[in-house]
């Protein structure tokens, strides 16, 4: 079944405790937390203190997405609060070593690619990653329009994973709604990061159910 990872960045932070409970009841599988430094991406979001607080108030696994420059400098600290920990292929860290370090802390590793990156560039690292995150918008801001070019990236990564006999989660983030979610799942996505479409929904539980049933 498709996994749903709600993007906390689009939540109302003053109502976050209530939203966390609602997401748990709705059947979300994990929480997607975007950490932005204003350098690798133009926006600034939140860091370790906020994530530690969220971890205390939810039973959902934390899917932490580092949109920061040279993320290898902070792997130990973020691994302590993450269940899944991802960083960008393009962010200036030694990719293989960083993936190994994440896994060494007992955390599942995720390698992320931006919209302009050819997925074939990360083929050498597939055996080291538990999940690949394909960005379907330019990273840094929520509410953007889905980029259809992400679908071919998913197809390429899925085909290569099958060829190698790898059981890798394929996650997609950006512009996900009822229509684009179906396209992404058909292309190979197994984890959907959902922001505005979920948090602006009148019925969060029905929206999660709708998205998770796409591949039924």
Quick check: 110 and 104 in contact, CB under 8 A? Answer: no
Quick check: 63 and 31 in contact, CB under 8 A? Answer: yes
Quick check: 78 and 48 in contact, CB under 8 A? Answer: yes
Quick check: 70 and 93 in contact, CB under 8 A? Answer: yes
Quick check: 199 and 208 in contact, CB under 8 A? Answer: no
Closest alpha carbon to 58 in 5, 20, 19: 20
Task: Exactly one of 29, 63, 130, 173 is catalytic; name it.
Answer: 173
Determine whether 34 is an active site residue.
yes
Residues whose CB falls within 8 Å of the CB of residue 181, separated by 6 or more in sequence, listed in order? 2, 192, 194, 211, 214
Determine whether 69 is an active site residue.
no
The three-state secondary structure class of 57 is coil
Give residue 61's Cα distance to chain centre.
12
Q: Give the single-character DSSP code of 44.
A: B
For 22, counting Cβ atoms within 10 Å of its Cβ (0-12 exposed, 13-18 middle, 19+ buried), the class is middle
Task: Exactly one of 34, 37, 63, 130 is catalytic; name it.
Answer: 34
Active site residues: 34, 173
């Amino acid at each position: 079944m498709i996994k749903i990872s709600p993007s906390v960045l689009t939540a109302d932070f003053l109502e976050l405790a209530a939203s966390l409970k609602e997401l748990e009841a709705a059947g979300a599988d994990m929480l997607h937390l975007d950490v932005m430094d204003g350098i690798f991406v133009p926006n600034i979001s939140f860091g370790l203190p906020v994530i530690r607080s969220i971890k205390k108030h939810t039973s959902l696994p934390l899917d932490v997405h580092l949109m920061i420059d040279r993320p290898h400098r902070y792997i130990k600290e973020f691994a302590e609060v993450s269940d899944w920990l991802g960083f960008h292929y393009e962010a200036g860290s030694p990719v293989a070593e960083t993936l190994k370090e994440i896994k060494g802390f007992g955390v599942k590793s995720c390698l992320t690619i931006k919209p302009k990156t050819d997925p074939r560039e990360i083929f050498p690292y597939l055996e080291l990653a538990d999940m690949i995150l394909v960005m379907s918008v330019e990273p840094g801001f929520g509410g953007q329009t889905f980029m259809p070019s992400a679908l071919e990236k998913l197809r390429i990564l899925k085909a290569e994973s099958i060829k190698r006999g790898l059981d890798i989660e394929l996650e997609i983030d950006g512009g996900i709604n009822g229509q684009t979610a179906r396209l992404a799942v058909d292309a190979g996505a197994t984890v959907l990061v959902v922001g505005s479409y979920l948090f602006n929904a009148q019925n969060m539980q029905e929206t999660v159910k709708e998205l998770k049933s796409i591949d039924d």
